[in-house]
Amino acid sequence: MVMSLLVINAIIAPLIKLLFDPSSQYHSGKRCSIQHTKRDSELRIMVCIYKDENIPTMLNIIEASCASKESNVSVIALILVELLGRSRPILVAHQEHDTLRLTKCGSTELDNALKQYVQLNEGCAYAQSFTSISDFDTINDDVCRISLDRRANIMIMPFHKRWEIDGTVEINNRAIQRVNIKVLERAPCSVGILIDRGILSGSPSLLISKATYYVAVLFIGGADDAEALAYASRMARHECVNVSVVRFLTFGEENSKERKHDSDLVDEYRYYNAGNIRFEITEEVVKDGIEFSSSIRRMIDYFDLVMVGRGHPQSVLLHGHDQWSECPELGVIGDMLASTDFVTKASVLVVQQQRMAGRMAKHNVNTLPNQRDQLVHDVPMDEPPRASCTISVDKYDNVGR
């Protein structure tokens, strides 16, 4: 019996872990990102809630996603509850479900918020909620399984730090950070990590008060920034959302292949949003990381939400910043914006585009052609393209595109 136990624990168990990777079931060959979804198709957003104080900011992002009859929004909410003791992990549904048990969990605030959202967007929005009670070392499996089953385009995870009303920062649960890292590695869709500073800004509810909601996208380049740009472009359809895309250009690299590729992508979204006064693209030329950081500090407090990609191609703008990174799950820029040294009231959404079998999905774009029907995204045919771009080259006048 002793020898059998030794064999099972010392040989068979590690062998099973070596031969079977449970995360492989989440690797999909189908793209489930926002960028690669048709603009008039349903948008499926999965939000994970750990503390109730994240609900107002999450709800603002959901409402900003602009549910309409042409493009519905489906919300999948998952409450994360840490399993204590030796209890058995369970996954429960708050509504009728084919395989999961129906139960009434302590989620009154979330359920009421989702119910109100669905009522105010009747016929355009749908919501369903779940609760996962599990050990935080394995709860990422429930997160990925539900997102795969519900075919989510993006899941929004909570950050493990919490901002208090006096500006101090506390750590909710260090295990949340490990959950986020595992989800980023295995998610079958795009992932956003929300750094919630809503309690500092006291921004009103976009759902109820219909106050103007200001969103910024910090664009350097790469697939993750492309996903943030695609999400913000959808938000710009909302009558109360103003989107400002700030594209940072490195001085002296105007002829690089990557820059031309990103220019094609930006031009595509500029063309698609032609005539939309709530969508603006500005370009700022900076020389190094110091100017890049200073530029962000000047503008960030004008916005309620700042969106940025997690990963970026090698750039001189990021040199030096990565040496001080505390939260690798946020990337270089996201970590900088989440730092306690970076004083701001704006919430931050760090976006990672869906990884295809562990690799970054390529974003294919077309250079703006003469014939409109060749664009990647459908463009309104009843009006000519009008640029909504402002170029800022105040210090380096010899730089052009």
Q: Reply yes or no on whether the pLDDT at 397 is more than 70.
A: no
Name every residue whose Cβ is closer than 8 Å to that of residue 293 and which is 6 or more positions away in sequence. Answer: 321, 336
Give 260's pLDDT tier (boundaries 50, 70, 90): confident
Higher pLDDT, 326 or 77: 77
pLDDT number for residue 214: 94
Q: Give residue 237's identity as a one-letter amino acid code.
A: R
Give me the CATH topology for the region 26-360: Rossmann fold (3.40.50)
DSSP string, 273-307: TTT-TTEEEEEEEESSHHHHHHHHHHHGGG-SEEE
From 45-54, 61-70, 218-227, 256-265, the region with the lowest mean pLDDT: 256-265
Give 189's pLDDT tier (boundaries 50, 70, 90): very high
DSSP 123: T
Q: Which residue has the tokens 């909620």?
A: 129
pLDDT tens per residue across span 337-347 = 998 888 888 99
Q: Reply yes or no on whether the pLDDT at 387 is more than 50.
A: no
Residue in 105, 112, 122 with CA at minimum distance from that of residue 59: 112
Give 400's pLDDT tier (boundaries 50, 70, 90): very low
Tell me the mean pLDDT in the region 21-41.
76
Among 229-233, 284-288, 316-320, 364-368, top mean pLDDT goes to 229-233
Higher pLDDT, 341 or 377: 341
Query: How many residues make up the chain in this entry?
Result: 401
Q: In angstroms, rounded to a whole number, what is the distance separating the alpha carbons of residues 241 and 243? A: 6
pLDDT tens per residue across span 130-179 = 999 998 988 999 999 999 999 999 999 999 998 888 778 888 888 999 99
Q: At what angle do helices 174-186 and 139-149 cross, to 10 degrees?
A: 40
Q: How confident is the prediction for the chain on average, in pLDDT?
A: 81
Q: Reply yes or no on whether the pLDDT at 362 is more than 70.
A: no
**By the 8 A CB rule, do 320 and 205 touch?**
no
Q: In angstroms, rounded to a whole number, what is the distance separating the alpha carbons of residues 194 and 398? A: 38
Three-state SS for 350? strand
Tell me the mean pLDDT in the region 259-286.
90
Q: In angstroms, rounded to a whole number, what is the distance separating the alpha carbons of residues 356 and 155? A: 16
**Domain range summary for the chain, segments of one domain joined by +:** 26-360
Q: Reply yes or no on whether the pLDDT at 247 is more than 90.
A: yes
Q: Reply yes or no on whether the pLDDT at 324 is more than 80.
A: no
